[in-house]
Chain A
Amino acid sequence: MNGKTPKAQGFRQSQAGLHTWTGLLVGWILYLIFLSGAVSYWREEITRWTQPEIGATHDVETVARGAIAHLQTVAPKAASWSIALPDERASGATATFREKARPAPRRGVDPNAVTIGPDGKVVQPRDTEGGDVFYRLHFDLRYVPVIWGRWVAGFCAMFMLVAIVSGVITHKKIFADFFTFRPGKGQRSWLDGHNALAVLALPFHAMITYTGLVTLMVLYVPWGVAANYPSKTAYYAQSITRAKPVKPTGEAAALADIGAVLKTAERAWEGGHAGLIRIDAPNDVAARITLTRRASDTLVDGRWEIVFEGVTGQIRSQVAPSSSGMIARGGMIGLHAGRFAPMTLRWLFFLSGLAGTAMVATGLVLWIAKRRQKLADPSRPHFGFRLVERLNIGAIAGLPAAMAVFLWANRLLPTGMAGRGDWEVHVMFIAWSGLLLHGFARPPRRGWIEQLALTAVLLAGLPAFNLVATQRGIVSSLMAGDMSMAVMDLVLLGLGAAFAAMAFGVARHRPAVPKVRTPRPAPTAPNAAQPMAARQPEEVEA
């Protein structure tokens, strides 16, 4: 096989090489994207957990009335008000206003924004990014300009798509592979695990990778737009129709009752709910109320809007995604973000995401396991081998530990601290950097055990800390019927147990004596006594 030029390679072999090298190149970033993406299915729950000052929302109308009452006192003459309402999984509305009719800055802290609690009163939760930190990390990365982060994520997603296609071609016995698991056999077991995880959730992986690319498709592939529009602005003008700004007349008039407006919208959307209320020129005759539909209402992500006359509460106009292209794209984005997903499906998405995370992790470990047997001198592996081996530790075990550190920072940093929300994130990345270095500093096996054990302790410690040191421990959450908080604590405990099991597994594991492929003069190793025929099939494919 050595002397042959690439020309003689079969299609399947060419794809195996493509799969291995594309997979390794982007593996660590893909692992980060998969893990942060999987936990982002609990974005609202994580945000709730990180802001225990806000209780569960029971009645959205109370919150909306409270928000309007607040805005009425602080900014009765503002150009516009907006209120982001919680859905059934979230809690706390955000109410803000704009003095002048110009677009708000897209990012950064809004000094006018306040949080309205479930009782309709202003609450002061701790400064945190909550679940948004993992959601943003998933496609923007961190500490790099957002556009770079998105290009890197898109690059990795494209690699992933190629890895899926080439992976499917590589495994012609794809369904047989799924039912094959030979534990305790080193490289073989990692390969079987990698295959099983990949095939188990293959429809999910294919869907999530493709729809992920579609979420930012015009950034990655602006050529379709370039073919039909003179500029991106012209395209956006057609794809995102914005209402014209409202000119106040100066004549005062009372706003329509928000409860009645919400009910009208619910009827118009056949049971749908408002997620966002915008009121232009409040307290003016020309006032206008725009309701945007809750993202969790529909599969199709897009602009569902009803515009009301602000004073009478009559419907003026409605928009919904209507053209085939908008519906198809909205459907794909909706499928990716899973905002529509009810609890059972949400769990399935989350577990599939974890299967994807584990698939990437086993693939990275497999790269090492496969090459370990071929090392010329196992006591002194070459640089590339050592680099991948050590990076695997800090990436695979270190990242979940760092994510747990974020939750610890959320509980432990003083509430009055300047830049507290940012520091929660800095602490997470400082911890991760430390763990990446730790992976290089310790012998590999010790490194794995220590980092997995650390992750277990950090995760399982969180619900314990909540129970002992806060008002929102699992017992009080259960008593209050706040299932979201209670389940989050239980899941952290369960994940802690899973990492503890992995740490024990690595600690107990006795690595198989490496198979020596050169003929040996005498049977010295214990496994050399096995009949050769039994070991033969394992060595055929590599």
Chain B
Amino acid sequence: MAFGISDVNATGVGLQRKTDWRGVFDLIARIVLAAPGGYAVMAACTMLLARVLPGEALDRTLWATMLSFAIYACLVVWTFAARSALRAGAVMLAIGLAAGLLARWAA
């Protein structure tokens, strides 16, 4: 589990309490990536969708906003599932930049 203090301990012999600093750093990095980071990437994706979906401006806006929560949830889940925080960060940055640039281009 990606959480600093060892929680899974099936054997129980000498419950290990040594803090895994790399694990803690990885966890904090993922939280920052998921919550504000995921929100920012979701915002860029929502703006892109609001501009490129078919239909009137009002419908495009509403549909993009309705979909935004699904996008956010996927981004958060994926951030915690990624092999490393670094990799999660790189991919999030790439998605965010691509969506942001495309949204700007679609304006």
A317 within 8 A of B: no
Kindly supply a per-residue 1/0 record for chain A positions 521-542, scoring 1 wherever the CB is within 8 Å of any chain B CB and 0 otherwise. 0000000000000000001101
Shortest beta-carbon distance from B62 to chain A in Å: 3
Report the Cα distance A217→B11, complex, angstroms.
47
Report the Cα distance A158→B77, complex, angstroms.
12
A187 within 8 A of B: no
CB pair A376–B58 under 8 Å, yes or no, is no
Report the Cα distance A229→B12, complex, angstroms.
59
Report the Cα distance A169→B76, complex, angstroms.
13
Which of A14, A217, A224, A325 is packed against the most chain B CB atoms within 10 Å?
A: A224
Tally of contacts, chain A with chain B, CB under 8 A: 151
CB pair B51–A227 under 8 Å, yes or no, is yes
CB pair A539–B10 under 8 Å, yes or no, is yes
CB pair B3–A21 under 8 Å, yes or no, is yes
Known contacts A14-B2, A214-B66, A227-B103; is A166 also within 8 Å of B77 by CB?
yes
CB pair A14–B22 under 8 Å, yes or no, is no
Instruction: In the complex, identify which listed stretch (A2-10, A48-56, A128-136, A351-359) lies at the interface while the others stay far away.
Output: A2-10
Q: Which residue of B lies closest to A518 (CB)?
A: B12
CB pair A5–B20 under 8 Å, yes or no, is yes
Main secondary structure, interface of B, reads: helix
Instruction: In the complex, identify which listed stretch (A249-257, A326-334, A453-461) lies at the interface while the others stay far away.
Output: A326-334
CB pair B84–A7 under 8 Å, yes or no, is yes
Kindly supply a per-residue 1/0 record for chain B positions 63-74, scoring 1 wherever the CB is within 8 Å of any chain A CB and 0 otherwise. 111101110111
CB pair B66–A217 under 8 Å, yes or no, is yes
Partner of A15, one of B47, B51, B81: B81
Residues of B within 8 A of A165 (CB): 73-74, 77
CB pair B66–A228 under 8 Å, yes or no, is no
A498 within 8 A of B: no
Partner of B46, one of A227, A239, A328: A227
Report the Cα distance A360→B17, complex, angstroms.
29
CB pair B58–A238 under 8 Å, yes or no, is yes
Residues of A191-235 at the interface with B, using a CB-CB cut-off of 8 Å, are 210, 213-214, 217-218, 221, 223-229, 235
Shortest beta-carbon distance from A231 to chain B in Å: 13
A324 within 8 A of B: yes
CB pair A228–B2 under 8 Å, yes or no, is no
Report the Cα distance A539→B73, complex, angstroms.
32
Shortest beta-carbon distance from B80 to chain A in Å: 5
Partner of B62, one of A21, A224, A226, A517: A224
CB pair A225–B3 under 8 Å, yes or no, is no
Per the CB 8 Å criterion, the residue count for chain A at the interface is 51
CB pair A228–B51 under 8 Å, yes or no, is yes
Residues of B within 8 A of A15 (CB): 77, 80-81
Known contacts A325-B58, A517-B12; is A162 also within 8 Å of B77 by CB?
yes
Kindly supply a per-residue 1/0 record for chain A positions 6-50, scoring 1 wherever the CB is within 8 Å of any chain B CB and 0 otherwise. 110101011111101100000000000000000000000000000
CB pair A229–B61 under 8 Å, yes or no, is yes
B101 within 8 A of A: no
B92 within 8 A of A: no
A1 within 8 A of B: yes
Shortest beta-carbon distance from A464 to chain B in Å: 45
Residues of A within 8 A of B68 (CB): 217, 221, 223-224
Shortest beta-carbon distance from A366 to chain B in Å: 14
Q: Which residue of A lies closest to B64 (CB)?
A: A224
Give 16 CB contacts A-B under 8 Å: A14-B80, A14-B81, A17-B2, A18-B2, A165-B77, A226-B47, A227-B103, A228-B51, A228-B61, A323-B55, A323-B56, A325-B55, A326-B58, A326-B62, A329-B62, A329-B66
Q: Assuming A11-B81, A217-B65, what are 10 further A-B pairs, CB within 8 angstroms? A: A5-B20, A9-B1, A9-B2, A16-B1, A158-B72, A162-B73, A221-B69, A224-B64, A227-B107, A325-B61
Interface residues of A (CB under 8 A from B): 1-2, 5-7, 9, 11, 13-18, 20-21, 158, 161-162, 165-166, 169, 210, 213-214, 217-218, 221, 223-229, 235, 238-239, 323-326, 328-329, 332, 374, 376, 517-518, 539-540, 542
